Amino acid sequence: MAKSQSGPKLQPVRGTHDIMGDKARTFRYINQVFQDIAKRFGHEEISTPIFEFTEIFNRTLGETSDVVSKEMYTFEDRGGESLTLRPEYTAGIARAFISNGLQQSLPCKFFAFGPMFRYERPQKGRMRQFHQMDIEILGVAEPQADIEVLAIAVTLLTELNLMDDISLEINSLGDKESRDAYRDALVVYFTEHKARLSEDSLARLEKNPMRILDSKDENDRALVENAPRISDYYNVETRLFFDTVLAGLDALQIKYVINERLVRGLDYYSHTAFEFVTSKLGAQGTVLAGGRYDGLIEKMGGQSTAGIGWAAGMERLSDLISPDLVTQDTRPVSIIPVGDDCQTEALKLAYRLRKADYIIDMSYRGNMAKRMKRANKISSMAAIIIGEDELKRGTVMIKNFDDGSQTEIALDQVMTHLNHYR
RNA sequence: GCGGGUGUAGCUCAGUUGGUUAGAGCACCAGAUUGUGAUUCUGGGUGUCGCCGGUUCGAUCCCGGUCACUCGCCCCA
């Protein structure tokens, strides 16, 4: 790392990264595919601020959730307001939905993307500033929305050519009645076996017993094996809803695995919950996840409105994509003036071609050999050489870098000739 | 917040059981070549061996601390 003699620390803040080169290209590619698909499914873009009043997050995500209790970037602004950098997208979109009175125009189908912030210890696939792509449908209580949102996810991962390494795990957390009944059963069960629970899970028993289900502690897992199963506590409505979602996936030939231990970390989920997971990313296998959050808008103070959505991690997706699979940018054409007298003509030609949609590179200094080297380095398709001799004849030399051939072309024919390179 | 690993050139990494001017490949710069790239040849090291302190005649190497990165736990995209 470069060092400064004195002055500010030059490393980026822990858990943040500069995005450039292949990484930037991969991000742009993923994002283009995502936006294209979202539009095909009839979603509209929404972009909300990267910070909100702190209340927006801590009232909705759950006070006891890890995100709220220890991962938020919260600060006071100069006016004394407590603000928080968004740790996820859904709460901000829900707030925007209410702020803008969008219950008048249901259903709302949104897509969004941008940076998120969580104060965590960084590791593979986990950053303090990371980027998510987000899909939400608001105002549709029918399971068709669940199916559609999952179809978007599968389309995205398929078009990114990642579905071979990723599987969909799905569960239903049930409606409130089912979930409360199940929660009670879990508390009874785990309280009986309190002595064998890990320390972490003892705390979970108090705060959020369902999370004991995805504990990685060996003893816990043994207990979980024999714990009550959520599907036994589904009421009729929940069972029907979940079966409809699964039937929809079957109809679309979307493969899935029911994982009854899948619970989500944030409090606002109900009914459908899902994760797309891979084993190729080390400890952070979840690449895209989401679920239904029918109670969220009401909890936030709006009219009761159904909602379902998901978020995908850009960093995690791009870690799965090798850079050479990303579409190469169109190669440039280099213009090389020889001698000062040709600068103006070169400048004019470059401008003309750029306005006509060509990608033109012009180096700023160096003799011809150096400029040719640079042209080669940036993988130009061709060099347009303008020298005094050519200028007198009203022509330029066009050198094809792939076969080394060289042709003299009249200045006003340059564009026609370049069509060979399109 | 808790564990493990790693810090040597722009990048990937070698190295010294503690010894004088610290190395390789790639990259980069200059020249061979003031009108021709990719190939070739010549020359150039661009470095506080992360930082601070300790042991020592002597530390890049050993010890302590610290910072950074990294992997994992917790949790999550």
- pLDDT (tens digit per residue) in A55-114: 999 888 776 677 777 788 998 999 999 999 999 999 999 999 999 999 888 899 999 999
Q: How large is the average pLDDT for residues A4-27?
A: 78
Shortest-distance nucleotide from A4 CA to C1': B48
Positive or negative: CA dihedral A187, A193, A195, A201: negative
Mean pLDDT of A369-387: 90
Ranges assigned E (strand) in A33-185: 44-45, 51-53, 73-76, 82-85, 108-117, 129-138, 166-172
Residue A155 has a pLDDT of 97
A197 touches strand B (CB under 7 A): no
Comparing C-alpha atoms, which of A416, A415, A418, A377 is closest to residue A399? A418
Q: Is the CB of A390 under 7 A from strand B?
A: yes
What pLDDT score was predicted for residue A228?
Answer: 87
- The overall longest dimension of chain A from CA atoms, in Å, is 96
Considering all nucleic acid strands, name the nucleotide whose C1' atom is nearest to the C-alpha of residue A315.
B77
Task: Please give the nucleotide, over all strands, whose C1' is closest to the CA of residue A402.
Answer: B38
What is the rounded distance in angstroms from the CA atom of residue A311 to the CA atom of residue A332? 36
Write out the DSSP string of A381-405: SEEEEE-HHHHHHTEEEEEETTT--
Confirm if A26 and A326 have CB atoms less than 8 A apart.
yes
Q: How far apart are CA A298 and CA A190, in angstroms?
A: 32
Whole-number pLDDT of residue A6: 52
Report whether pLDDT(A421) > 80: no
Q: Is the ipTM of this complex over 0.90?
A: no
Residue A173 token pair: 């957390």
- In the complex, which nucleotide's C1' lies nearest to the CA atom of residue A120? B75
What is the tens place of the pLDDT at every residue in A315-327? 999 988 876 677 6
pLDDT digits (tens, 9 = 90+) for A388-404: 888 999 999 999 998 88
How would you class A165 by CB atoms within 10 Å of its CB: exposed for 0-12, middle for 13-18, buried for 19 or more? middle
Instruction: Answer for A332: CB within 7 Å of strand B.
Output: no
Strand partners, A134: A112, A311
**A109 and A41 in contact (C-beta within 8 Å)?**
yes
Tokens matching residue A133: 């792509």
**pLDDT at res. A290:** 93
List CB contacts of A310: < 8 A, sequence separation 6 or more.
A134, A135, A149, A153, A274, A288, A289, A290, A291
Count of alpha carbons within 13 Å of A90, Cβ hemisphere only? 29
Is 70 exceeded by the pLDDT of residue A174? yes
pLDDT band at A135 (very low <50, low <70, confident <90, very high): very high
Among A183-187, A223-227, A232-236, A238-242, whose mean pLDDT is lowest? A223-227
The pLDDT of residue A265: 63
* pLDDT at position A1: 44
What domains can be seen in chain A, in order of their start residue?
Answer: 22-175+235-324 (3.30.930.10), 333-421 (3.40.50.800)
**What's the CA–C1' distance between A9 and B54, in Å?**
27
pLDDT for A378 beyond 90: no
| Mean per-residue pLDDT over chain A, rounded | 88
Looking at residue A292, its pLDDT comes to 94
Confidence of residue A280 (pLDDT cuts 50, 70, 90): confident
Residue from A108, A157, A136, A114 nearest A288 by CA: A157
Tell me how far apart the alpha carbons of residues A108 and A403 are, in angstroms, rounded to a whole number: 54
Contact call for residues A221 and A180 (beta carbons, < 8 A): no
Residues A353 and A124: their CA atoms lie apart, in Å, by 44
Does the pLDDT of residue A54 top 50, yes or no?
yes
* Count of residues in chain A: 422
Rounded mean pLDDT of A172-186?
Answer: 88
Nearest of A60, A51, A135 to residue A298 by alpha carbon = A60
CA A396 – C1' B50 distance (Å)? 53
Burial grade of A261 (CB within 10 A; 0-12, 13-18, 19 or more): middle
Q: Is the CB of A204 under 7 A from strand B?
A: yes
Confidence of residue A339 (pLDDT cuts 50, 70, 90): confident
User: Cβ(A109)–Cβ(A136) under 8 Å?
Assistant: yes
CB A49 within 8 A of CB A92: yes
Q: Is the pLDDT of residue A288 over 80?
A: yes
- Where residue A158 falls among pLDDT bands split at 50, 70, 90? very high
pLDDT at A177 over 80: yes
For the segment 4-23 of chain A, residues whose CB is within 7 A of strand B: 5, 11-15
